[in-house]
Amino acid sequence: MNSSEQCDVLIIGAGIIGVMSALYLQDSGRRVTLLEREGVAEGASAGNAGILAFPEIIPMAAPGVMKKAPKWLIDPLGPLSIPPAYALKIAPWLWRFRKASSPRAFEHGLSVQKTMMKLAADEMQRVAAMPELAHHISNTGTLDLYDSRASFDAARGDWDEKARAGFTFTRVGRDEIETLQPGLAPQFQHAMYSPDGLQVGDPQAFTRAIADLVIARGAILRKGEASGIAMSGDRAIVTLANGQIITADKVIVACGAWSKPLAASLGNTVPLETERGYNTTLPTGSFNLTRQLYFNDHAFVVTPLSSGIRVGGAVELGGLHLPPNFRRSEALLKKAGRFLPELKTKDGKQWMGLRPSMPDCLPVIGPSRASRSVIYAFGHGHLGLTQSAATAKLVTELVTEVDTSIPVDPFRASRFS
Identify the bridge partners of residue 33 per DSSP, sorted by sequence position. Answer: 10, 220
- Which of these, 416, 119, 362, 378, lies nearest to 251 by C-alpha position? 378
Sequence spans of domains, the chain:
5-46+205-271+361-416, 66-99+134-198+273-357
Q: Give the up-direction half-sphere exposure of residue 87: CA atoms within 13 A in the CB hemisphere.
A: 6
Report the alpha-carbon distance of residue 274 to residue 155 in Å, rounded. 27
| CATH code 3.50.50.60 for 5-46+205-271+361-416 | yes
Cα separation of the two ends of the chain: 38
Give the pLDDT of residue 3. Answer: 57
Close Cβ partners of 28 (under 8 Å, ≥ 6 residues apart): 396, 399, 400
Give the pLDDT of residue 78. Answer: 74
CA 317 from centre of chain = 15
- Which of these, 383, 300, 310, 391, lies nearest to 80 by C-alpha position? 300
Pairing mode, strands 273-283 and 308-317: antiparallel
Q: Give the up-direction half-sphere exposure of residue 329: CA atoms within 13 A in the CB hemisphere.
A: 20
Q: Each residue of 323-340: b (16+ CB within 10 Å) or e?
A: eebeebbbbbbebbbebb
Give the pLDDT of residue 79. Answer: 73
Identify the bridge partners of residue 377 per DSSP, sorted by sequence position. Answer: 365
Helices (H) and strands (E) in the chain, counts: 11, 20
- Which of these, 285, 348, 275, 382, lies nearest to 318 by C-alpha position? 275
Report the alpha-carbon distance of residue 125 to residue 299 in Å, rounded. 27
Give me the residues of the chain with pLDDT under 50, please.
Answer: 1-2
Give the pLDDT of residue 57. Answer: 98
DSSP 59: -
Report the alpha-carbon distance of residue 42 to residue 14 in Å, rounded. 8
Sequence-ordered alpha helix ranges (H) in 78-181: 87-100, 103-128, 149-154, 156-164, 174-180
Q: What are phi and psi of 27, to 5 degrees?
A: -60, -25
Report the alpha-carbon distance of residue 310 to residue 72 in Å, rounded. 23
CATH code, 66-99+134-198+273-357: 3.30.9.10
Taking residue 136's Cβ as centre, other Cβ atoms within 10 Å add up to 21
Give the pLDDT of residue 1. Answer: 40
Close Cβ partners of 73 (under 8 Å, ≥ 6 residues apart): 80, 81, 82
Identify the bridge partners of residue 365 per DSSP, sorted by sequence position. Answer: 377
Question: For the whole model, what pTM was predicted?
Answer: 0.96
Residue type, 309: I
Give the pLDDT of residue 74. Answer: 63
Q: Where are the beta strands (DSSP E) in 291-401?
A: 292-295, 300-305, 308-317, 349-357, 364-367, 374-378
Give the pLDDT of residue 66. Answer: 80
